Structure 1
Amino acid sequence: MTTRPTAVAGTFYPADPAELAATVDTMLAAAPATEPATEPLDAAAYVVPHAGYRWSGPTAARVYRELRDHTGPFERAVVLGPAHRVALRGAAVPTDTAWASPLGPIDIDLEGARLLVDRGLAVAADEPHAPEHSIEVQVPFLLRVHLPKMLPVLVGPGDPAATAALLSAVAGPGTVVICSTDLSHYLSEDEAHRRDAATAAAIGDLAPERIGDGDACGRHALRGLLTWARQQALRVDRLALATSADTGGPKDSVVGYPAFRLSE
């Protein structure tokens, strides 16, 4: 039994447990409530950002507040993300039994990971996961909304249909799919708004072929998610579309942050 240590605690989010819990809870409390407030939602998947909490946390909180208040019951999150630091083709799942966080560990769904490996839909490799932040930054949010188990899947270049097949193998009752991606990078605020609006339209239309290489750092996972969602005839709702300028960053070089729900 092995536990993956944190890679970005203290940089992307607070390393102190009390500070981290308070930070996440404050962002969840500040996120607008989804209407209607008393009915459960039939969410199958979400798109969330993965930058430092200082910048993208309020956008991510839109998704996690909804998960906390209006969906479920979910027992597991399948979290797709890009590999920023280690070259990867196709998909990779970890062999670790848990991932550490300042709030305590989150269990890894090894049964789901083995299923994907056995079907040739992913490889078992801890190396791409070890330094990666795109999935790790979701862990404190997952724990604070009472989702204690996840299946982390890093997705590199490959056929979107393969990622769609992967999702078909592990999605279903009790599981929520989370696609972790930021949108455009380092454009002016006006340019980012135009580019991200086009990307948001592609997401809304379930059109993976319209997600360009510069549109999202998690484009490979996102294209696969949209391919799967189109096969499932899911509906898309935009919860938020923001940039780092909205949380105090410079307006001449921004990063875009998405929050979308995909539901039946």
Structure 2
Amino acid sequence: MIRRAAVAGRFYPDSKESIISQIESFDYDDKEPVEAFAVVAPHAGYQYSGPVAAKVYARLKIKGSVILIGPNHGSGRGSDAPPVAIMSEGSWELPTGEACIDGELARILMEEAPVITEAGWAHEAEHSLEVQIPFLQRFAGDASIDPIIMIAPIIMIAPIIMARLARDQVMELADGIFRAVEKYGEPVTFVASTDFSHYVPHKTAQTLDHMAIKKIEALDGPGLLDVVSKNQISMCGVQPTAVVIEVCKRLGAKKAELVSYQTSGDITGDFSSVVGYGGLLIV
């Protein structure tokens, strides 16, 4: 199965050169990337969340295949998807090139976490993972193979989108993914795709979002779920983020580091109703 780009020309440009030009226009740190288990990265249009995404991806040394976990927003056929849907074979074709599915990793993930169901079709219109791919391609270790376009030729991925699960299912999913990674036996990198507060005043977003960020920094998955629920923080990828936190903790992660945070108001100048974007490394 080949998944074509669904949001090129809307969330990000529709040509490779324009995508790279936009990413390079963001003010990111070009220091040596660090070994990390995961990134937490936003998934809005690049004009809004791209600066945060570029800063966190520039700090990441990508290891092996990438397990991307994000929310299912119910776009297109996604509204009929199983609770946890993976695309287990084929590739994603974007203007920046191809991202190939790691079929072996996907198979093991489904074996060890039975709630993960093959449903490649559910990914067709979902943007939360697609917008991560050009950043992964740009900042992959072998991107310098073509210094003109600065894009890695191929990356290997295992894309998973989640609908809302019960709390115990979130923890069971984390357990299963941890077992799968151990069984797979090769290095992997995780991406948790999430935006933070939606459509609240700028100051409110800052206050609420930093409550959630503190739980991420402490690698407290259950605490993150609790604080988001208690304070009604409209963090669309809270469960994917909690899953990634719990898996990385089992793999040996000690903390998360906030690399960048801003709201859409910092871009548009309209602070009356904003969306919050955070970029974190789990190390």
TM-score by length of 1: 0.88
Contact 1:45 1:178 in 2 (8 A): yes
Matched, 1:216 2:235: yes
Q: CA deviation at 1:244?
A: 0.7
Specify the code of the residue in structure 2 equivalent to 1:252: S
Structure 2 residue 132 is matched with structure 1 residue 138: yes
- State the match for 1:152 in structure 2: 159
Partner amino acid, structure 2, of 1:219 = V
Paired positions, count? 252
Which residue of the other structure, out of 255, 260, 263, is the alignment partner of 1:235? 255
Flag the 1:237–1:189 CA change in 2: closer, same or farther, 3 A: same
Change (3 A) 1:163 1:62: farther
Residue aligning to 1:50: 43
Distance of 1:95 and 1:33 partners within structure 2: 34
Equivalent residue number for residue 66 of structure 2: 77
Is 1:252 aligned to residue 272 of structure 2?
yes
2:177 partner amino acid: L
Name the residue aligned to 2:13: 14
Determine if the alignment matches structure 1 residue 207 to structure 2 residue 197. no
- Equivalence for 2:28: 31
AA aligned to 1:75 is G
- The match for 2:144 is none
SS at match of 1:133: coil
Alignment RMSD, CA only?
A: 1.9
Shift of 1:3: 0.9
Give the letter aligned to residue 246 of structure 2. Answer: T
Q: Which residue, 136, 158, 177 being the options, matches 2:190?
A: 177
1:206: how far off?
2.0
Normalising by structure 2, we get a TM-score of 0.82
How far apart, in 2, do the equivalents of 1:95 and 1:164 lie?
18
Gaps of 5+ in 1: none
The question of 1:161 aligning with 2:171 is answered yes
1:242 alignment partner, SS class: strand
| Offset, 1:249 | 5.0
What do residues 100-121 of structure 1 show as CA deviations (whole Å, max 9, x unaligned)? 1011111111111111223314
Give the aligned partner of residue 5 of structure 1.
4
What is the one-letter code of the residue matched to 1:236? A
The offset of 1:184, in angstroms, is 0.6
* Matches of 1:197 and 1:18, distance apart in 2: 35
Change (3 A) 1:170 1:91: farther
Instruction: Tell me the amino acid that sits aligned with residue 120 of structure 2.
Output: D
Cα separation, 2, equivalents of 1:230 and 1:177:
12
1:32, distance to aligned residue in structure 2 (A) = 2.5
Once residues 130 and 114 of structure 1 are traced to their aligned partners in structure 2, the CA distance between those partners, rounded to angstroms, is: 20
* CA-to-aligned-CA distance 1:185-239 (integer Å, 9 cap, x gap): 0000011011011111111122223332434101111121222234345211111
- Indicate conservation of the 8 Å contact 1:76/1:149, yes or no: yes
Give 1:31's aligned amino acid.
Y
Structure 2: distance between partners of 1:77 and 1:110? 12
SS of equivalent to 2:190:
strand
Matched, 1:92 2:85: yes
* 8 Å contact kept, 2:253–2:282: no
- In the TM superposition, what is the alpha-carbon distance from 1:173 to its structure 2 partner? 4.9
Query: CA separation in 1, counterparts of 2:253 and 2:139?
Result: 27
Contact 1:239 1:261 in 2 (8 A): yes
Task: Look up the match of 1:110.
Answer: 103
